[in-house]
Amino acid sequence: MSVVDLMATAAGLPQAWSSRRLGQVGAACVKVLRMDELSVEEESHSTDEALIVVDGRLELDVDGTPVSVRAGELYMVAAGTAHTVRPGSHGVLVIVESAEE
């Protein structure tokens, strides 16, 4: 595989919050997406999920607690933890999650 320009890949996606799978490492799937200012409904996963903010900021509500994740930061969401994207998120996000999700 060649070098992936995360910013260009995210910018080329048809809509915000639609992800593009970049590849798989072991049992983990790596995806990139573009965030916009809108919120996203609550979700939880059966496995841990890594959220890496490449550019901008991710605003979360994790089990009722507000969490801000800035560019260059990583947030780990434990399996089974309810989390919602709050309004105000923007930029580029890389997600590493189980390929089965």
pLDDT in tens, 48-78: 999 999 999 999 999 889 999 999 999 999 9
The topology (CATH level 3) of 6-98 is Jelly Rolls (2.60.120)
Which of 37, 30, 35 is closest to 7 using CA atoms?
35
What pLDDT is stored for residue 101 in this prediction? 56
Tokens of 79: 């399996």
Domain segments of the chain as ranges: 6-98
Band (99; pLDDT cuts 50, 70, 90): confident
What pLDDT is stored for residue 1 in this prediction? 60
Average pLDDT over residues 37-52: 89
Band (33; pLDDT cuts 50, 70, 90): very high
